[in-house]
Amino acid sequence: MNKICFILIGLLPIQWITLGWIRNHPEWIEIYYSERLYTFIYNSHKFFFKNVSFSFGDVLYGLALLTIILGIVRYIKKRKINVKSFLKNGLAIISFISLVFYLSWGLNYHRLPLHETLNYSSKYNEEELTNTFQKLIEISNSLHQSLSGIDSLAVQIPYSKKELLEMIEKDFSFKPKKFNVKPYLKSSIWSTLLSYMGYAGYLNPFTLESQINNRIPKISYITTASHEMAHQLGIASESEANFIAFYTSLNHSDPFIQFAGSSLALRYCYAELYKVNPALAIKSMAKLRPGILKNFQQLSMFWKKFQNPFEPYLKKGYDSYLKANGQTNGIQSYNDMVGLVIAYFEVGEFHLDN
């Protein structure tokens, strides 16, 4: 056991040096890891975990947490900690987790940006943002009118979450780029805990299962499902996963799912326009049918029920995690999807009669 620990500790600086070097060669990661090795790893994991009726990754995290708690209790009972042994075991565990994390999924953080592989422009100005926002208002209003009829009523999605999941999995397709994996989703057994943590879903990077918080409202359930499945494609960037959630939802055959996709992009574009021109953002938002605003209010009310003093600290921790993995905007990187949405409409891929 000691020999294994020392080998893992010796690998730790090698991992850091290799990672620092390879992250400067995203084209290598794209070709040799994301498009080849990761595809094999994902399909291997899927073979073992997809047909397991529960989330194996959730159980794994639960066991890990229990092990940590029992370890702390054991050290407290001893009243004396062998510092040398503690550091040795701790560093070995960190090395092992880091190695598995980056080999199984984490290197995708350093692949080529999606806008480069799609030949999209990542830059935009206020006029382009405004035009896209107006377009999303038009699409959302049109969908709302056909789904609700009465402009003051929120859209009520008639499907169960199980039905939504089957519909999303069946038609999940990102046509601008070919991926050699077929994603799937599971409901997290920790959904209530995730709600208090402020999370709608997550990808387990060790089992490559996408988990969704089964308690969230259906309109958010749809785009979160697509977002987490995008991570299974090897898309690590939160903004890119958000864009794929928008794209796959808006291009789905079902209008309720399309509405969820347009609503997602609408909220993010409004937030960005409000930063640069609050008066214009508010004026434009007045054109939105009141029922759509009620759908947004339902989302806000859901998350308010679970607000607690610990959530900001959990979000801060996740912010640091994202920054450590190359997403310089941290938790705000979700908003970066706006540039991709603008580019998507500029190339003319979507029409109201889609």
Q: Where are the beta strands (DSSP E) in the chain?
A: 186-187, 201-203, 210-212
Closest CA to 352 of 144, 169, 103: 144
In the sheet that holds 201-203, the strands lie side by side as: 186-187, 210-212, 201-203
What integer pLDDT is reported at residue 354 of this predicted model?
Answer: 43
Q: How far apart are CA 11 and CA 103, in angstroms?
A: 14
Q: Which residue has the tokens 């190359």?
A: 326
Query: Is residue 8 a contact partner of residue 96, using CB atoms and an 8 Å limit?
Result: yes
Q: Rounded to whole angstroms, how far apart are CA atoms 218 and 295? A: 10
Could you tell me the end-to-end alpha-carbon distance of the chain, in angstroms, rounded to an integer?
Answer: 60
- pLDDT the model gives residue 236: 95
Instruction: For Cα atoms 162, 166, 170, give the angle at the middle one, nearest 5 degrees.
Output: 170
Report the chain's C-alpha Rg in angstroms.
Answer: 22
Which residue is associated with the tokens 């229990």? 66
One digit per residue, the tens of pLDDT, for the chain of length 354 reads: 678 888 888 888 899 899 888 888 999 999 999 999 999 999 999 999 998 889 999 999 999 889 888 877 777 776 666 767 778 888 988 999 999 999 999 999 999 999 999 999 888 999 999 999 999 999 999 999 999 989 999 999 999 999 999 999 999 989 888 888 999 999 999 999 999 999 999 999 999 999 999 999 999 999 999 999 999 999 999 999 999 999 999 999 999 999 999 999 999 999 999 999 999 999 999 999 999 999 999 999 999 999 888 777 777 787 777 677 777 766 665 678 999 999 999 886 554 444
Domain boundaries, the chain: 2-110, 116-346
Confidence (pTM): 0.91
Closest Cα partner for 246 from 155, 157, 163, 340?
Answer: 340
63's tokens:
């066991």
| CA distances to 21, 35, 158, 184 from 209, in Å | 29, 19, 27, 8
Instruction: Provide the strand spans (E) within 138-209.
Output: 186-187, 201-203
Could you tell me the sign of the dihedral formed by the alpha carbons of 249, 255, 256, 260, in that order? Answer: positive
